[in-house]
Amino acid sequence: MSTRATKKPDATTALKDRRLRAVYRRELQNSVFQSALIVSAAVAAAAIAGAFGAPTVAPVLIALMLPLALTTLATAWAVRRRGRRYAIPLGMAVGLVPLLSTAVSILLLPQSGAVALGTVALIPLAFAIFVPLERKAHLTWLVLADGLFLGIVLCLCASGADLGRAISMLIAGAIANALSLGANAVQLSRRYQINGQVLAVRGLYGRMKEHELDLRRQDEFLFMQQETLVVQQDELLHLNEELETIARMDALTGLGNRLRLNEDLASLAARIERTGGTAGLLLMDLDRFKRLNDTCGHLAGDAALRGVAEVMRKTSRVGDGVYRYGGEEFLVLLHDCDESSLYAVGQRYLTAIQAAGMAHPDNPPYGVVTASAGATELSQANCTDVDAALHDSDEALYVAKENGRNRLELHLRPGPADVVPIDRQRAAS
């Protein structure tokens, strides 16, 4: 974005710049003050020198020069007090005092004509150098000085001075004007050049500040982006955790699903194989669940599944894992459970399900939802083949179904004659 500080500096910009104009007025104030002191001293010195050179006109010369010297001193005081506001008109007044002093010398001291002519030529040059006004103000001062100078020439002509002297003074005045204009142009050129450099440096500084501000804004933006990324990363991790949980959770009951079971069972088997110990696999199946769906509807069946899942959560011990194995089948991983306590722990689940009193009209003789279960001990002897252990639990579950349902059977290794076809097992459930 382009601002006043970053635009290409030129003379117009320098003239309109408030700070540069304030610096110029302060410098002009100092120049006018110093010039007023110098003019006052020069007028006093000229009066003293004229008094010694022409004692006959000394009183008149001093009487005329003294007010001029006092005027320049008063001007110096005024410039010091309020010079910034009135520096230009006070500077013009200081520049006219030497002309008045020269006019007095020419009128009272005819013998000082050559010196007076040289002074007339030097005063505008010195004014342009020591009081560097703007072009318009400088031209205004030249008009006033030329008017005063022409008045002096006319006075000399009226007093009977020869024409050659008047022409010499006019030539000296023209030379003085040319020198003053040239000196003023040089002063203004130098000042504009310095102002341009100041504006260029200021513009560079402004661009640096804007660049610094842009960098700061970019840092803030990047910091905000980083914070946003961190928040989004946390949300993504949280969502991933939720997705992983959902992927391992049964949508109907809220229990672990087959994926979660396979992971936990593999981890449990690896721990038993590595460190020893025992665990129990308790596989349960709701009795006559198909009849419940046919008699009361699938909504009642879903309600029964959710109710059984809630009972199993409340019945499970700390550390046990409860899963929906499939359909109306549930499985419990009983940690640190050996064969001697496996039956008691498994029977507690069956008792809790029956005690919940969930209606099942087509499940005689109980009239409520019940479950049959098969349990297998998992130890270092069989932990390397968890599929076989699950199959053993399924066989024990079939035996419980065959023996009247609503009961728990522990797995006993069957002989060859005891193998039951899988289609018969499913029909019994």
Q: Does domain 258-428 have CATH number 3.40.50.1390?
A: no
353: Cα separation from own chain's centroid: 62
The predicted pLDDT at position 401 comes to: 93
Other beta carbons less than 10 A from residue 290's beta carbon: 13
Instruction: Say what the pTM is.
Output: 0.48
pLDDT in tens, 171-185: 877 888 888 888 888
Q: 174 near 153, Cβ under 8 Å?
A: no
What phi and psi, each to the nearest 5 degrees, are found at residue 14? Answer: -65, -40
Q: Which residues pair with 373 in a beta bridge?
A: 284, 408
Q: 177 near 128, Cβ under 8 Å?
A: no
Q: What are the contacts of 133-141 at 24+ separation with CB within 8 A?
A: 133/28, 133/88, 133/91, 133/92, 133/184, 134/88, 134/188, 135/184, 135/188, 137/88, 137/92, 138/180, 138/181, 138/184, 140/92, 141/91, 141/92, 141/95, 141/96
The predicted pLDDT at position 109 comes to: 67
Over 103-162, what HEC string results? HHHHHHCHHHHHHHHHHHHHHHHHHHHHCCCCHHHHHHHHHHHHHHHHHHHHHHHHCCCC
Element (H, E) at 212: helix 163-247
Element (H, E) at 377: strand 371-378
pLDDT in tens, 244-289: 878 888 989 999 999 999 999 999 999 999 998 899 999 999 999 9
- Active site includes 328? yes
Per-domain residue ranges of the chain: 11-211, 258-428
The predicted pLDDT at position 55 comes to: 77
pLDDT in tens, 118-157: 666 677 777 777 788 888 888 888 888 888 778 777 776 7
Q: Given 328, 377, 395, 409, which residue is catalytic?
A: 328
Angstrom CA distances, 228 to 216, 221, 232, 236, stand at: 18, 10, 6, 12
What is the per-residue DSSP string for 61-118?
HHHHHHHHHHHHHHHHHHHHHHHHHHHHHHHHHHHHHHHHHHHHHHHH-GGGHHHHHH
Q: 130 near 35, Cβ under 8 Å?
A: yes
The predicted pLDDT at position 420 comes to: 47
**Regions of the chain where pLDDT drops below 50:** 1-6, 8, 414-426, 428-429
